A = this chain, B = another copy of it.
């Protein structure tokens, strides 16, 4: 493949900087795709906030993430950012969008093909847009997170930079919850497991649902069950170092589950709800356990010694590294270039 000749634009969201300082899964993946492509010799331009960083070219019109700078109107930032990328479409052979349904609405106004990685369907109300543009090019981030009728060219699992999450030396004693504080993420179920097992629980992440935090998390906090706020990569590694397991008891189907992979990379077993993509990301009994409820999760804890941390990391290296992801995307890009060449014939 003559990658060097092809120019790719990666359209990242502008909620956060790319890569994000802490929370921001979509920006993390967009960054990993960009850096992975650059490392493999692609001519890649990242459309992201001005304070973003990349080994590729940065093209930016929004100074900061709108979640990080309240003087910025999210709608204004979004319109300025997406339209800017499409105004430069003719400079690229492919636009790889991580910007959901909004960017789709520009795709028919340019000649450059657009690939959309669907990081999740946030609401049934957005489906009319996907339906209109169903013949566009799509990638799902797990086989389970697909909408019928869309022109999927494949599933590409999210990949992480393994150097950020070194294998820890030995298992710790804490249960760890890492994610948004939101009922979807089952923080209350993690608390239930801590209460059933008597093990300490560290809860980290941004509070996305204030009412849920106040009613179902805060009342249970004590010296053993602690909420420590959002954490960066160093903070995650510190949590992994002290962890016996990551609890990921999501109450709705998971779309991918980046944190499962990060924990596994560090050698931490994951106990996850068997909903959505968790079955694809974890290998039951090898990198963690898939469960149906909090009681089953608590019962798994005695089986944790069966899990080999090094085996967890090996599976991440094989399937969920930046390199694996970028190679899979190169395969999808080539499909698009072939399809476009065919159209022109």
Contact = CB atoms under 8 A, between A and B. Distances in A.
Given A80-B129, A128-B80, A86 B109 contact: yes
Interface stretch (A49-57, A68-76, A139-147): A68-76
Contact of A108 (B83, B101, B108, B123): B83
A70 B125 CA distance: 10
A129 B79 contact: yes
A63 to B, nearest CB: 10
Contacts of A196: none
Given A108-B87, A109-B110, A125 B79 contact: no
Contacts of A106: 83, 106, 109
A132 interface: yes
B80 A125 contact: no
A126 to B, nearest CB: 5
Contacts of A301: none
Interface string A94-112: 0000000110011011100
Interface in A144-178: none
Nearest to A82: B105
Contact of A109 (B102, B109, B132): B109
B129 A105 contact: no
Contacts of A87: 108-109
A68 to B, nearest CB: 15
Given A79-B129, A132-B80, A73 B123 contact: yes
Copies in the complex: 2
Chain A: interface size category:
20 to 34
* Chain B CB within 10 A, most for which of A71, A79, A128: A79
A219 to B, nearest CB: 30
Contact of A128 (B76, B82, B101, B125): B76
A71 B101 CA distance: 17
Nearest to A72: B125
Contacts of A72: 125
Interface string A317-340: 000000000000000000000000
Interface of A: 61, 71-73, 75-76, 79-80, 82-83, 86-87, 101-102, 105-106, 108-110, 123, 125-126, 128-129, 132
20 contacts: A61-B132, A72-B125, A73-B125, A73-B126, A76-B101, A76-B128, A76-B129, A79-B101, A79-B129, A80-B105, A80-B129, A83-B105, A83-B106, A83-B108, A83-B109, A86-B109, A87-B109, A106-B109, A109-B109, A109-B110
The 3 closest A-B pairs by CB, nearest first: A83-B105, A73-B125, A109-B109
Given A75-B102, A83-B106, 8 more contacts: A61-B132, A75-B75, A76-B128, A79-B101, A86-B109, A87-B108, A106-B109, A109-B109
